[in-house]
Amino acid sequence: MQQEQIRQNIDLANATSLACEECGSVKFREVAFIKKVSALLSPNGKEMIVPVGTFACAECGHVNQEFDPFANKE
């Protein structure tokens, strides 16, 4: 309930739009990186396929460094 109330108080018209680092588009689509976890590292001892969600530019497909969960963040 409290989270819903907070959302209602935010005016997104005043929020900053993010743009693609490559082409400047402000439209993005949801995409996923697919990672394979070996049986040795898996919690259940079996090889796993794990999707990791993020956003890519709807125009050129670029994933901004800010959205890349595997990018080196300093």
What distance in Å separates the CA atoms of residue 10 and residue 1, rounded to the nearest whole number?
A: 15
Domain membership of residue 2 (yes or no) is no
Total of domains in the chain: 1
Q: Is the pLDDT of residue 1 over 60?
A: no
What distance in Å separates the CA atoms of residue 53 and residue 55, rounded to the nearest whole number?
A: 7
Confidence of residue 43 (pLDDT cuts 50, 70, 90): very high
Q: Is the pLDDT of residue 34 over 70?
A: yes
Domain membership of residue 47 (yes or no) is yes
The pLDDT of residue 74 is 57
Domain membership of residue 62 (yes or no) is yes
| pTM of the complete model | 0.73
Between 44 and 6, the higher pLDDT residue: 44
Domain membership of residue 1 (yes or no) is no
Domain membership of residue 41 (yes or no) is yes
Structural domain boundaries enclosing 49: 17-74
Domain membership of residue 7 (yes or no) is no
DSSP 19: -
Domain membership of residue 12 (yes or no) is no
The pLDDT of residue 5 is 58
Half-sphere exposure of 1 (CA within 13 A, CB side): 0
